[in-house]
Amino acid sequence: MFKRVFIITVLLVLVGCSKPTYQSQKSALIVIKTPILKYADMGFIYTNKANTKVEIYSNGVASLSIDIYKKSICMGDFKCIEPDKFNKKFFASYYLDSFMSNIFNQRAIFNSQNLIKTKSGFIQNIKSDKYNIEYSVSTKKLLFRDKINNILIKINIME
C-alpha cells in the first residue's frame, strides 16, 4: 500500500512540475525598449492555447525569457507576478492585463479599439492623455509604439 501511495505521489509531483509544450515556434528579431527594459536581438516566440513564451538571445545565450500565462507573467528566474503588476513595473499601468499576450500573439490590443483591417493584418491608433499608441500587425511584422511612455516593441518574424 505504501509503495502505491509513494508512486502516485511521485507521479503527481513530476506531472505538476512539467513545463508546458508549445504547438508553435517562430524565430524573430525582437526589439523591446522601455525606460527599464532594453533588448534587441534574435529570439523565439513559443505559443500554445494557454500561454506564450518569449526568449531573446545574445551571443547564443538567453538574455531574456518571459513566460506569459493568463493570470501571471514570469521573467527569467524571478517570481511570477500578475499581469497588471508586470505592466506597471515594465510598461505602463494603463495597459490591460492581456497586453503582453496580445502583442506576442499578434492580436488586437485594448479590446480592438480603433481597429482598422488591412490586406495583411491591422493597425490601431489609440490616444489618451496617458498614452499615444501606434500599433500595426502584418503577417511577418509587428510594431508597437507608445510615444508618451517611451515604449517600443518590434517583431520581425524570420521563418
At residue 102, the pLDDT reads 96
Count the alpha carbons within 13 Å of 37 in the hemisphere toward its beta carbon. 25
At residue 19, the pLDDT reads 55
- What gap in Å lies between CA 109 and CA 96, rounded to an integer? 8
92 in a structural domain: yes
- What gap in Å lies between CA 94 and CA 53, rounded to an integer? 23
53 in a structural domain: yes
Q: Tell me the one-letter amino acid at 142.
A: L
pLDDT, one tens digit for every residue, the chain (159 residues): 655 544 555 444 444 444 557 668 899 999 999 999 999 999 999 998 889 999 999 888 889 999 999 999 998 877 899 999 999 999 988 899 999 999 999 999 999 999 999 999 999 999 999 999 999 999 999 999 999 999 999 999 996
**The domain spanning residue 86 has which CATH number?**
2.50.20
Count of structural domains, the chain: 1
138 in a structural domain: yes
57 in a structural domain: yes
Give the structural domain span for 90: 18-157
At residue 24, the pLDDT reads 81
105-114 per-residue burial string, b: 16 or more CB within 10 A, e: under 16:
ebebbbeeee
At residue 2, the pLDDT reads 54
7 in a structural domain: no
At residue 31, the pLDDT reads 97
9 in a structural domain: no
10 in a structural domain: no
pTM of the model: 0.83
48 in a structural domain: yes
- What gap in Å lies between CA 40 and CA 144, rounded to an integer? 14
